[in-house]
Each structure stands twice: as C-alpha cells, then as structure tokens.
Amino acid sequence: MIRKLFRYIGKYKIYAVLAPAAVIIEVFLEVNIPRIMAKIVDIGISNRDLDYILKMGTLMIIMAVTSLVMGALAARFASIAGTGFAKEIRKNMFYKIQDYSFANMDKFSTASLITRLTSDVTNAQMTFMMMIRMMIRAPIMLIMATFMAVSLNARLSAVFMVAIPFMGIALYFIATRAYPKFRTMFKKLDRLNAVIQENLIGIRVVKAFVRGEYEEEKFRDIADQVRETQLRAEQIVIWNMPVMQFAMYGCMLAISWFGGNLIISGDMLEGELMGFISYVTQILMSLMMISMVFVMLIISKASVTRIAEVLDEKPDITEKPGSEGIPVKDGSIRFENVSFGYGGPEGNKVLENINLNIESGEVVGIIGGTGSAKTTLVQLIPRLYDVIDGKVYVSGRDVRDYSLKTLRNAVAMVLQKNVLFSGTIKENLKWGNENASDEEIIEACKAAQAHDFIMSFPNGYDTVLGQGGVNVSGGQKQRLCIARALLKKPKIIILDDSTSAVDTVTDAKIRKALKKYLAGTTVIIIAQRIASVIDADKIIVMDDGKINAVGSHETLLETNPIYREVYESQHQGVVEYAGA
Amino acid sequence: MRGHERSMRNMNIMKPKNALKTIKRIISYMKPYRAHMVLVVICVLISVASNIAATYFLKPLFNRYIIPYIGQQNPDLSEFIKTILVMGIIYTIGVLATYTYNRLMVTVTTGTLYRIRIELFSHMQTLPIRFFDTHTHGELMSRYTNDTDALRNMLSQSFVNIFQSMLTVSGVFIAMLLLSPLLTGIVVLMLVIMVFIIKKLGSKSGKFFREQQMAVGKVNGYIEELIEGQKVVKVFCHENKVKADFDKLNGELFEAAKQANTFASMLRPIMGNLSYIHYSITAIAGAVMSITTGFDIGSLASFLQYTRSFSQPITMMSEQFNSILMALAGAERIFDMLDQEPETDEGFVSLVNAEKTEKGEIRESSKRTGIWAWKIPKDDGGAEYIEVKGDIRFNNVVFGYEKDKTVLSGITLYAKPGQKIAFVGSTGAGKTTVTNLLNRFYDVPEGAILYDGIPINNIKKKDLRRSLSMVLQDTHLFSGTVMENIRYGRLDATDEEVIEAAKLANADSFIRHLPQGYDTLITADGMNLSQGQRQLIAIARAAVADSPVLILDEATSSIDTRTEALIEKGMDKLMEGRTVFVIAHRLSTVRNANAIIVLENGSIVERGDHEDLIKQGGRYYQLYTGLLELA
C-alpha cells in the first residue's frame, strides 16, 4: 500500500537507497562478530596463542566500530529519507488540493483534509522510516544469521527448522488476529472523541438543558466500550513476549543438549557452541522485527489510503488546450438551458433549464428563499462548478473556452462564507491584485466604504488581522472582502449576500460607489434584503431551482406574489411608521 | 498567529513540573488494582530472574557436565539431563510469569484509563462556562487524545519496562560481579561511556525535537487556515502564491524533523554496537585471563552473554525516558483540568411539579402537571411553595467577563409573567450577557437578579436552568436522530409530543421530507441540514422542554424572512403564557414585544414598546429604518 506513495519521494530517493545499504553492511558485520568470537575461544585459547587473540580481538573492535558508523549513517539516511518523504507527500497533497475544483473540495470535508495533511502524513512517515530500516535489516539478519549458524554446525542448526516456523506462525496469528480488534477499538475511540468534541462545542446547550448527567451516561457507555475493545485487542498482542521467550528458551535448551553431546563426542568445539547461541538471539529478534513491521504496515494502512485518496482525486475542472490567450472582452452573461446538480448527472438537479441573459454593465439583483439555488446559479459564472447540461456564456464565449485564470480574474466573486487570512489588512487586499499601488488600494476601500474604519485603527492598513479576520466586526469583514474583489478590476462582480451585516445606509453607499468605480462592469447582487436590490436594472426571483420571474422592482411588486411576500415581511413596519 | 500560539504550547509538552507528585497521583488511580500490581511485581521478578538464570546456567553446564566428558566413550549424562530439565522448568515458569504480568497490566491499564477518562469527562461537565471561554477546543480535546494516549503508553509499556530493565541491569551486574570482578571493571567503564553518550544525544535530540514541534505547529496552522479558505484561494487564482508560502514552511519543518529524527534514531545503533565493542574487549581480556590465570571457559561464555543482556535494558531505559517525561507532562495537564474549581452552587430552592388545591394553595405533585413551584425548605423540615410565574427582575446589575472590562453597567429591568422582552443593540452591547447571567453561566458580582422574588443565587442551578428554555444563535445539535435531538429538551417526552413541538416550529414538514423522517441521523457537523433547518430543530427542542421562561438568542437569524413569517404563528403559540426574552438582529422579529430594550455599551439607552420607540425617533428608530449598522 505504502509503495503507492513511494513514487512521490522525489530527490530523497537516494537516501532511501543508501539507508538500507548502510544497514546491510551493519548487519553483515554484526552477524560476523559472534563467529570471530568463536575463533578466539577455540583457536586462540586452545592453542594459548595470545597473538592470535589480540589480532582477532582488534579485528572485532574494528568491525564493531565500522558497524557503529554504519548504524549511525543508516539512522541519518533513514531520517532524511523519511522526513523528506513526508515533506514531498505533504507538498504533493497541498499542491493537488490547490488544483481541486469546488466539487472536489465538497467531496472531502475541510476537517478531513486537514487530518489527512497532518496526522495521516505523520503516520505514513513513521511507517516509512521504520520500513527502510527494518524491512531490509530483519530479513537480511535472518538469512545471514541462519547461514552462519548452518556453517558453524549444520546438524545443530536443525533446531531452527523447528523454531523459525514456530515463531513465524505464532507471530502471524497474533498480528492477523489483533488487527481487526484494533480496528474496532479505533472506531470506538473515534466515537469517544466525537462525543467529547460535541460536548465541548455544545457545552452551553448541555448546561442550559441540564443534561450533564445524560451526557455523562452516554460517555460512560462509550468509554466502557473503548475499554472493552482495547482489552480484547491488547490481550492478543501481549502474546508476543511470552512466545518469543518460549522460542528462545526452547532453542537454548535444545542447543545445550544436542550441542553438549556434540562437544562430548568431539564433533563440535565449545567456542562454536557459544557463537551458535548468539545466533539464536539474532534470528528470533529479526523474526520479531518482521512481525512488528507487518503490524505497523497494517495499522498505517488507513492513513496511507486516506492520503492516496487525496492524491488520486482527479480535479474535475480542467482547461481546454489553447485557452491561454483568449481574453474576456466584456461583462455580458448568458445561460442557455442550464441544468446543474451537486451530485453529478445522476444526482438531484438543483438548477433546471435556466435561460438568462445579462447585458454587459447591467446591475442585477437576485432574491429568493433559502435553498432556492441563488448561490448555485452565480457559481457557474466563474466556473466554480461545471454545468451538467446547457452552456454558460461570458462575453459571448462558453466559460469552458477560457483559461481559469483569465476567467476568474474577469469575474470577481465575493463569497457568502468569506474568509480573511492572517496578515495585515493590506496583504489581504493585495490578494485582489498583487501589484496594486497604495492609491489603488485606498480607492477600492473608499468605494467599499472600508477606508474610514481602516483609518480608525491605530495601524491603519498595516493592522494585523488574526486568523479568519477575528478582530474586525462582521460588517467590516464584508466590506474588506468587497474591496479585495474590487481590486481585481473585474468585468463582472458577484456579491453573494455580502452586505448582510452592513447597515442599509452603508449598503446603499457601497452600491452607489460601485456604480462609479466599476462603470461598465456587470454587477450581480444576491441579497436577503429587498433594499439591496431595489434599484437594480433587473431583479431575478429564484424559487426552488427555477427562475420564477425577472423584472424591475415595480413590476415584480405588482405581478410576482413571492416578491411581494418577501417585500411585505420586511417592510410592514417601515411603511407604517416611515412618516412618524 | 494561532499556529504560533500552538507551537508555543508545544514547547512545554516535554517537561513535567513535578514528576514525583504526578507519579504518586497516577498510582493513586491504580488503587483498585492493588492486588494486580503486587502480582505484577512478583511476576516481573520471576521473569527477570529466569532470564538471568537462562544465561547463568551455561557455566555449570560447560564446566561440570561437558568438559570433563570430552572424548569419553560412555559419558555419564544423568546430571547433564537433570540440569537441562531443571532449566526447562525454570524457563516455563518464566514464560508463564511474563504472560501473566502482561495480561494483568492490560487490565490495569485499560481500567485506569477508563477511570481517568470518566473522571475527566464528569468533571468537565461541572466546570463553569468561563473555563471553556479561556481554553480552546483543540487544547481541551488534546487532554483526551494526546495526553491520555501518552499516559496509556507509559502505563502499558514504560512502567513495566523500566522496572524490568532496572532489575535486569542490577541482576546482571551482580551476576557479573560474582563471575569475575576484574571483567566487571570493564563493564563499569563502558557504563560511564554509555551514560555520557545518552546524555549528549538526549539533549541534542531534545533541542531539535522542540524545533520540530514549533515547525509542525506553523505548518499545521498554515494548512488549517488555507484549507478552510480554499474556496477564496480559488476565486482569486492565488494557488501559486499559496504553494510558494507552503513550500517555505514545509522546508523548515523538513530541516527540523530531519535533525530530530536523526538523533533520536541514532541512539539504538550506537548503543548496540558499543555493546559489541564491549563484547570484543571482554573476549580479549577473558581470553588473556583464561590463558594466564586459568579463568574457565564456561564463566567466560556466561560473562559474554551477560554483556549482551546488559546494554539492551540501558538502551531501552534511555528510550523510554523521553516518553515517560512526555506522559508525565500530559498527566499533569489532565490533573490540572481535574483540579479546576467546579461551578459553585449554593442554591437550596428547588423546582417541583405542583398542583393547586381547591383553596388555591400550592401543593407538590409527583406528576407533570404543567404547573411548577419553587420549593423553599424551612428550618423545621417543612417547605414553602411559590408558584413559578416567570417574573424576572434585574436590579442594578454590573458585570464584566474580565475584571476591569465592564460589559453591563447598572442594568435594571423587569419582565412580568407572560411578557415578551426584546433586546436590541449592536454586537458587544451586552444582549447575550443579560441571558448568560439569568441562567447563571456567569455569576453577578454586583446587583441582584430576582426570579419570582427569589434571588437566583438561592435557586439550585440545575433547577434554575430547567425552568429556562434556550434557543441559541449557534444552534448545536448532537449526532443522533432528529427525534433524539428534539427530545433533548425533555427526555421523557413521547414521540407525539416531539412531533407536536416540531409542528409548532414549522419543522415537521421538512423533517418528513428527510430520507428517514424523524429517524434521520444528524451527522456531527450537520452537513445534511441547512443552518435554517437546524435552527428550526433547536426551536422545537426548546418547545418540547416546555419551561415557564423562554430565551431566544438570535433564534431565527438564519431563517429567511418568508419562512420566518410562516413560523410566526407557531412561535406566538410557543410564547403564549411564558415570559420570553428575545434577542434579534432582524427587527421585524421584535416588533410585537411588550418592551424593547435598546442596549449600547452595556447600558440601557431606550426602553418602551415598538410604537413608543418609533415615536421617540431615537436610536431604535434609526436602527429600525436602517440608518444604523448592526454588526
């Protein structure tokens, strides 16, 4: 599974190769040391040859030091490869998300994307690092140590014929049986965390309804399940240690008995037996390691899958080849038999058969209840979503003919759920136009009626905004977002309920200023308040995914019942008391 | 900014403030498992002893039963067999002991964690709102996730490992000393070198680890902010700029992580190979001794085995050390939360169901009657009953969330039973604060609030809140079915009562259109419902609670004006006979209130009914006609 991600490693590949290479040398040395030890005892001591002992001893130390250096290098290389791998994965994911369309974004929730980019990547990194160090080390250690043992004494190494399959089977059973139990446990743990999270967010509701004890009971129940499943999972894993010990002790006893007999009959030397025993440890340890890697791989599978999902997602809005140079000439918009649904062609249609014509430079208002698809309609213009059926034309051309950059620079959109980023006000405004001069910025802010309140801050345009623009009020935030969009000097500007927190007088001022600032620009205003659209060239009344009526304020008031209802629900009082 | 704060917090995740005290407290949580722990200690002792014996028996085996018989035709192997058998028994006991303590520890760990979790959650429920104001959700959440997880690791692994390692090290050391004091000298020398290296590497990796945590904080903060604002990025074609910024932070994280991981993972190969060097030196020294002083080969064999089993537990301990420090720091944060003062409740007046006798006296009833009474206990053991009417008075209330920032300055107002009182004013004027004080989310330092003539501090908090139904602007629904969510208002409400309430809130029709009607599951983030629909459910939830006082804090802000007009009738019915406090952004909602209170900067600037205020032509008139911005 993780192999799928391996191709993203890029320039750190060399380290992913060097680390196992260093490990191989390290293991080779490590395996040979017991053999030399055996020689020291059997040849050096039996012959009372001090020279030989010193020579071999020095050789051993040299080998150990080399092995130490190799081990340290392997650690270094593995760290570079592992963290580099994580870096590249994070980068590729982040880049990929930048290429996502709105529809792609909708598929994943924000929270899940963040988890995938953070903790899932960390998990993958850990698994990867462990893999490049252990996956090579353990099998090689196993093979080499077995080889050494066999070459020391082939008859005695028959012991491993029993021990290795025994360990292998036991560890396999433990790992495969524990995995589903752990998965259940993690699911319960997720549920537990969800309950806590809900209680943190809804603590006021819990307290207001005096439901503390009720929530506690809910929590106790799920905590109990967590304990239960955890117990069941760990119960299996704890078999690892005793099984390992059992195999080890079993080998020791068998080797002592058979080896002892071999020594007595003169077929084996004492030193050889001692060396042999060292190999027992190495062989069994490497089996343990293999099972550990195996378990890690299984556990990280979920994270790796989630990462792969992000990377494999195909951005569903792509540019036509050759769209690069085509400019948007004017701000005319035409919808031709447009149908659209968020679920694709098979899903529910949110918009059906929309036909609409907007001239360049017109001011258009859109009114309609919640869920009447006002936002959906305008999102098709800058191609945030692609139509399922029909065509959307901007400046006489299908929006799919333009490059996304050209189109979206020509069509500015102030989103309903808008966001400012941490940084200064000026930095935020420059999102609209990176090269905007101070004069241009001030001019846009004046049009959006934001200049005055910006100047009232001690640091003016250099005031630092917190994440999400927390230190400005709702109305101020909306005006900053409008100014940001104005700086694009677009051909079309769409304001999606973007003055809901602004008072009517300022709202009117903004509209008036826009007319001057954006002479010739098509303006589309989605609003809850009739007052915001009252002087538009035309007003579109949306109802349940269809255009119910198009007309001026006066005509609609006379002819359209929905429009009249909305108007009345907002204006009863004012009409009655306006003269008072 | 937030990313930075987060990383600053992470700076301190490594170090506990008072390790000993924390360990003691953790142990106190294991008290119910005292018998288990005693058994664990015994089993670890047995396990370690058998492990040491496993190596130790090589010596007699070689010296007594093998070497004397080398080359003999019919050696007497009975003693040899006996020793092997004895060892077999010791080993079996050792394996059993290993399994037993592992199994016991699983029970102890899961049980202890369960206790801590439950206690943490129960305690959290008692904490005042102020506590939640001053801690982010992420911060509190990590008490339950990261901190508990670190604790789990420590309990399930580190505790036993360290104990075992210490035992092994001392046991092996003694065994070595018995075998050859001379060779043990080399061991001591190696030990000094090892400790030196551990210290050196430890401080290096600690430093880089902290750097890595800072970088992680920054990268995660950036990811969080940008992913949340991804749609804006797209609308402004800002992808390339964002990519460049991300690359810079990602690169910094890589550098720090590279170093941190290098030093952390170097420890094991260095220690492992040092032990080989140790092995070699001992082999040479031993061989020299064997030639010069006749040091026996069996002893040398055992000693060499010991040198291997000596370094491993030391490496293990040094690796565990960091995770123990982290777990202890996490435990301290958990205990810190457990030590937070719970909400105080000095109330003694309780809310009871009541009925009226023919003479008009109020009597307690065991059934739900639709009439409530305050029960004020008397010294003689009896009680006085006052009917709950919903008469609420604020007398000169002064309040601030922080010490020197007054939010409400001298508020005096009254709501007579059945009246609808509306609060109007811009954000920060103190509208929500008024309701927060009424249900005692916060306590009033100055002035008094009377509820049917009783100071609210005398009423048990639980009962006070039960007598008030609230619909908050930020409607929070719980994961569960729609039915369960509405029933949250009153747990014993029947299905019919729930549906009745939903009809009142005009929620019934859209609920029936949901895939499973009232049994439709609402997901945690409520993606399947619009904000307006969620508000309708929240209104139904308050309706089912059926309390004498109703508080609507921007309850219809996300419902469009047409739907609002539709639910007006239901709302009127809901408000009938109840005292109602309404906070609304949209002024059409408050028009028919008995009294409208205009708040500004924590003071009441105007009060009166709609007509009066419009006639006054003051602040309300300006707001109403849209001359002023309501933010």
Question: Residue B630: pLDDT band by 50, 70, 90 thresholds?
Answer: very low
- The more confidently predicted of residues B531 and A154 is A154
In a domain, A22, yes or no: yes
CB contact burial A559-580 (16+ within 10 A = b; e otherwise):
ebebbeebbebbeeeeeebeee
Please, which pLDDT band fits residue B10 given cuts at 50, 70 and 90? very low
Range picked from A78-92, A188-202, A274-288, B7-21 for highest mean pLDDT: A78-92
Mean pLDDT, chain A, rounded, equals: 85
Residue among A53, A95, A207, A449 with most chain B CBs within 10 A, to mutate: A207
Rounded mean pLDDT of B309-313?
80
Determine, for residues A207 and B441 on separate chains, whether the beta-carbon distance falls below 8 Å.
Answer: yes
What is the arithmetic mean of pLDDT over B144-149?
84
Whether B103 and A260 lie within 8 Å, measured CB to CB: no
Which DSSP string do the residues of A137-205 spell out, in sequence order? Answer: HHHHHHHHHHHHHHHH-TTTTHHHHHHHHHHHHHHHHHHHHHHHHHHHHHHHHHHHHHHHHHHHHTHHH
CA distance A230 to chain B (A): 7
Asked whether residue A346 is domain-assigned, the answer is yes
Q: Of all helices (H) and strands (E), which one includes residue A522? A: strand A522-526
Task: Give the model's pLDDT for residue B6.
Answer: 37
- pLDDT exceeds cutoff 50 at A53: yes
Q: Do A264 and B71 touch (CB under 8 A)?
A: yes
A96 within a domain of the structure (yes/no)? yes
Choose between B510 and B106: higher pLDDT: B106
For chain A positions 375-414, those within 8 Å of chain B (CB to CB) are 382, 384, 404-405, 408-409, 412-413
Least confident of A114-123, A295-304, B329-338, B595-604: A295-304
Q: Do B524 and A264 touch (CB under 8 A)?
A: no
- Give pLDDT tens digits for A241-264: 889 889 888 888 888 888 888 888
- Domain end marker among A152, A184, A199: A152
- Binary contact (A40, B219; C-beta < 8 A): no
User: Average pLDDT of A416-427?
Assistant: 84
Q: How far apart are CA A42 and CA B70, in angstroms?
A: 14
CB-CB under 8 Å, B230 with A71: no
The ipTM of this complex is 0.82
Identify which of B141, B243, B301 has the shortest CB distance to residue A274. Answer: B301
Q: Which of A384-393, A480-489, B314-323, B395-404 is the least confident region?
A: B314-323
A382 token code pair: 């800058």
CA distance B358 to chain A (A): 33
Is A370 close to B563, i.e. CB distance below 8 A?
yes
Contact flag A574-B625 (C-beta cutoff 8 Å): yes
Residue type, A422: S
Nearest to A302 by CA among A185, A193, A197, A194: A185
Q: Is the pLDDT of residue A184 over 70?
A: yes
Q: Which range marks the domain in which residue A56 is found?
A: 1-152
What share of chain B has pLDDT > 90, as a percent? 21
Residues B236-249: what's their mean pLDDT?
90
State yes or no: pLDDT of B372 exceeds 90: no
Has residue B379 got a pLDDT over 80?
A: yes
The pLDDT of residue B171: 85
State the Cα–Cα distance between residues B261 and A142, nearest whole angstrom. 26
Is A226 in the B-facing interface, judged by CB distances under 8 Å? yes
Please give the domain boundaries of chain B with CATH numbers for all domains: 2-338 (1.20.1560.10), 350-387 (no CATH), 392-624 (3.40.50.300)
**Percent over 70 (pLDDT), chain B:** 93
At residue A467, the pLDDT reads 64
Q: What's the pLDDT tens digit per position in B544-560? A: 988 889 998 877 766 76
Q: Which residue would you say has higher pLDDT here, B323 or B174?
A: B174
User: Which of B280, B470, B476 is best to mutate for the A interface (most A CBs within 10 A)?
Assistant: B280
Please answer whether residues A538 and A550 qualify as being in contact, where contact means their C-beta atoms are separated by less than 8 angstroms.
yes
Check if A216 contacts B (Cβ < 8 Å). Answer: yes
Across B523-531, average pLDDT: 62
Per-residue model confidence (pLDDT) at position A575? 39
Six token digits for residue B289 = 């001794």
For A509, which residue in chain B has the nearest alpha carbon? B627
Q: Which residue of A has its CA nearest to B472?
A: A205
Strand partners, A351: A340
Smallest CA–CA distance, residue B206 to chain A, in Å, is: 16
* Most confident range, picked from A104-118, A529-543, B33-47, B572-586: B33-47
Question: Nearest CB to A79: which of B233, B262, B284?
Answer: B262
- Per-residue confidence band for A390, with pLDDT thresholds at 50, 70 and 90: very high
Q: Is residue A310 part of a domain?
A: no
Residues from chain B contacting residue A566 (CB–CB below 8 Å): 561-562
Asked if B477 and B534 count as a contact pair (C-beta separation under 8 A), the reply is yes
Query: Does A328 fall in a domain?
Result: no
SS3 A572: helix
- Kindly report the nearest CA distance between residue B416 and chain A, in angstroms: 22
DSSP string, A13-48: HHHHHHHHHHHHHHHHHHHHHHHHHHHIIIIIITTT
- At A73, the pLDDT band (50, 70, 90 cuts) reads very high
Q: The tokens of B397 are what?
A: 């209330």
Q: What is the pLDDT of residue B428?
A: 63
Determine, for residues A227 and B71 on separate chains, whether the beta-carbon distance falls below 8 Å: no
Residue A394: which pLDDT band, with cuts at 50, 70 and 90?
Answer: very high
Supply the pLDDT for residue A473.
Answer: 72
Query: Which residues in chain A are contacts of B259 at CB distance < 8 A?
Result: 79
Q: Which of A124-138, A426-440, A466-480 has the lowest mean pLDDT?
A: A466-480
Of the partner residues B441, B524, B527, the one whose CB lies closest to the CB of residue A194: B524
pLDDT over threshold 80, residue A207 = yes
B561, A570: Cβ pair inside 8 Å?
yes
- Nearest-Cα distance to chain A for B227, in Å, is 6
Best mutation target, A222, A252, A284, A465, to test chain B (most B CBs within 10 A) = A252
- Under an 8 A CB cutoff, do A68 and B624 touch? no
Mean pLDDT of chain B: 83
Structure confidence at residue B218 (pLDDT):
86
Per-residue pLDDT, averaged over A73-90, amounts to 92
Q: How many domains does chain A have?
A: 2
Which of A100, A127, A152 lies at the terminal end of a domain, its last residue?
A152
Question: End-to-end CA distance of chain B, in Å?
Answer: 24
The model carries a pTM of: 0.78
How many beta-carbon pairs below 8 A join chains A and B? 422
Quote the distance between the C-alpha of residue B355 and its chain's center. 44
Region A70-86 average pLDDT: 92
- Is residue A566 assigned to a domain? yes
Residue A19 lies in a domain: yes
Contact A549/B at CB under 8 A: no
Choosing from A89, A118, A152, the residue where a domain stops is: A152
Return the CATH number at A58. Answer: 1.20.1560.10
Q: Among all chains, which residue has been given the structure tokens 């420059």?
A: A430
Q: Is A54 an interface residue toward B (CB < 8 Å)?
A: yes
Q: Give contacts of A431 with chain B, Cβ < 8 Å.
A: 232, 236, 238
Contact map slice: A 106-125 vs B, CB within 8 A: 109-111, 113-114, 117-118
Query: What are the tens digits of pLDDT across the range B432-457?
Result: 888 889 989 888 888 899 999 999 99
Q: How confident is the model at residue B631, as a pLDDT?
A: 37
Q: Per-residue pLDDT tens for A543-577? A: 888 898 999 999 998 999 888 888 877 765 443 33
| pLDDT exceeds 90 at position A355 | yes
Which residue from A54, A75, A409 is facing B265, i.e. has the nearest CB?
A75
Of residues B616, B595, B617, the one with CA closest to residue B607: B595
CA atoms within 13 A on the CB side of B549: 25
Interface list for A 243-282 with B (CB within 8 A)? 245-246, 248-250, 252-253, 256-257, 260-261, 263-264, 266, 270-271, 274, 277-278, 281
Q: Which helix (H) or strand (E) holds B604?
A: strand B603-608
Angstrom distance (rounded) from CA B422 to CA B188: 81
Residue B606, H or E segment: strand B603-608
What confidence tier does B516 reach under pLDDT thresholds 50, 70, 90? Answer: confident
Closest Cβ opposite residue A45 in set B113, B236, B287: B287
Give the distance from residue B270's alpha carbon to the nearest chain A alpha carbon, in angstroms: 5
Report the pLDDT value the prediction gives residue B11, as an integer from 0 to 100.
40
Q: Which of A33-47, A187-201, B76-90, B417-431 has the lowest mean pLDDT?
A: A33-47
pLDDT of residue B626: 59
- The whole-number pLDDT of residue A580 equals 30
Of residues B93 and A502, more confidence is placed in B93
Task: Specify the pLDDT at position B425.
Answer: 76
Tokens of A80: 């570079």
pLDDT in tens, A404-417: 888 998 999 888 77
> Between the ranges A47-51, B293-297, B331-335, where is the mean pLDDT highest?
B331-335
pLDDT for A565: 82
Q: How far apart are the first and last CA of chain A?
A: 75
The span from the CA of B575 to the CA of B578, in Å, is 5
Q: Chain A: give the shortest CA distance to residue B357, in Å.
A: 30
A227 has a chain B CB within 8 A of its CB: yes
Tell which residue, A61, A234, A258, has the closest CA to residue A155: A258
Q: Hey, are the CB atoms on A203 and B630 less than 8 Å from each other?
A: no
Q: Binning pLDDT at 50, 70 and 90, where does residue B599 land? A: confident
Q: What CATH number is associated with residue A371?
A: 3.40.50.300
pLDDT of residue A437: 92
Contact between chains at B625 and A506 (C-beta distance less than 8 A): no
B304 interaction partners in chain A (CB closer than 8 Å): 37, 274
Rounded to an integer, what is the distance from CA B475 to the centroid of its chain?
Answer: 22
Alpha-carbon gap: A390 to the closest alpha carbon of chain B (Å): 23
β-strand partners of A389: A339
Residue B498: pLDDT band by 50, 70, 90 thresholds? very high
Predicted local confidence at residue A22, as pLDDT: 92
A231: phi then psi, degrees, rounded to nearest 5: -60, -45
- Using pLDDT thresholds of 50, 70 and 90, give the confidence band for residue B586: low
Beta strand ranges found along B369-514 (DSSP E): 372-377, 383-387, 392-399, 408-415, 420-424, 446-451, 454-455, 468-471, 480-481
